[in-house]
Amino acid sequence: MTTKVAVIGSGNIGTDLMIKILRLSESLEIAAMVGIDPESDGLARARRLKVATTHEGVDRLVTMDEFADVSIVFDATSAGAHRHHDEILRPLGRTVVDLTPAAVGPYVVPPVNGQAHLDAGNVNMVTCGGQATIPIVAAVAAVTPVHYGEIVASISSRSAGPGTRANIDEFTETTSSAIEKVGGAARGKAIIVLNPAEPPLIMRDTVYCLVGDCDDAAIATSVEEMVARVQMYVPGYRLKQKVQFDRVPTDDPLHALLPAASRSGAATKVSVFLEVEGAAHYLPAYAGNLDIMTSAALRTAERMAAHRSGKVTVR
């Protein structure tokens, strides 16, 4: 038996998610697609695929016949809109999987804490940069304390729609917070770059972790194992090169980021370089930022559905 879901947001992310549910999921069934622009490509595609639609937003969704059987609602709109949607949906007993940076519910990054919030009424998928980089911070933190974690997410400006552009501040705040709360870093910082290059460049991410004295081989192995776990649901996720280790001299300004008691000791900067190629279900392969978000949301909802039905949870 499948779990019925709805998608709010007929832009790039919502449309890609709808197509993934239709093509890839054996446990989820899309019942409705919601937008606010009657001429959007997402709603047009949904209609062609025989998915019920409305361009009158969440207020119309909750009155549709198809909504009666919906258990999980994906929100692929904006941080501001999400808060309104959550206020309407949660009292109706629907679980909300939030693909905006609103962070109303707990953060979920599937290979790191994917089992932690299966009964939550609202979960937040952080950001595209967070989904790509937080697993790496967590992999380093599994071996040694991460005193400071910094990520730089570079995406093609073509793959950044109006929602992404309107939420840049929320992106940096939400990702920085999740680097700490999920990734395990004592302090986190996030930077996003919208790259205007033509032809468009694939998503690239850089992760810097400041640690003390460490076992290089153990960290490299942990990172490689984590990359393999992400690849289970995002095949285009990969390391660009081997994990890099740089010893930090005691007079380097980076030592100021260490706890006071550790500033006179050894320090190492761990650098990890990634790229994310999209599956091109809706947008071109360079839009790996969209692919990793929708893939993570799909993975999370499938785990929730399996948990609630008593089936073996998806890995």
Q: Active-site residue among 103, 128, 185, 220?
A: 128
Q: Please check if 124 is assigned to a binding site.
A: no
Hey, what long-range contacts does 116-120 have (CB within 8 A, 24 or more apart)? 118/303, 118/304, 118/307, 118/308, 118/313, 119/307, 119/308, 120/95
Q: Please check if 9 is assigned to a binding site.
A: no
Query: Which residues are CB-neighbours of 201 under 8 A, at least 6 positions away?
Result: 154, 156, 195, 286
Q: Please check if 166 is assigned to a binding site.
A: yes
Q: Please check if 294 is assigned to a binding site.
A: no
Q: Please check if 235 is assigned to a binding site.
A: no
Q: Please check if 310 is assigned to a binding site.
A: no
Q: Please check if 122 is assigned to a binding site.
A: no
Angle (CA) 142 202 128, round 5°: 50
> What CA–CA distances, in Å, run from 288 to 2, 112, 121, 237, 284?
28, 20, 28, 8, 9
Q: How far apart are CA 72 and CA 94, in angstroms?
A: 6
Query: Within the chain, what is the greatest distance between any pair of CA atoms?
Result: 66
Q: Please check if 76 is assigned to a binding site.
A: no
> What CA–CA distances, in Å, run from 273 to 103, 198, 238, 270, 276?
26, 22, 9, 10, 11
Q: Please check if 25 is assigned to a binding site.
A: no
**Annotation marks residue 209 as catalytic:** no
Q: Please check if 296 is assigned to a binding site.
A: no
Q: Which residues are annotated as a binding site?
A: 10-13, 159-167, 289
Q: Which residues are annotated as a binding site for NAD(+)?
A: 10-13, 159-167, 289
Known catalytic residues are 128
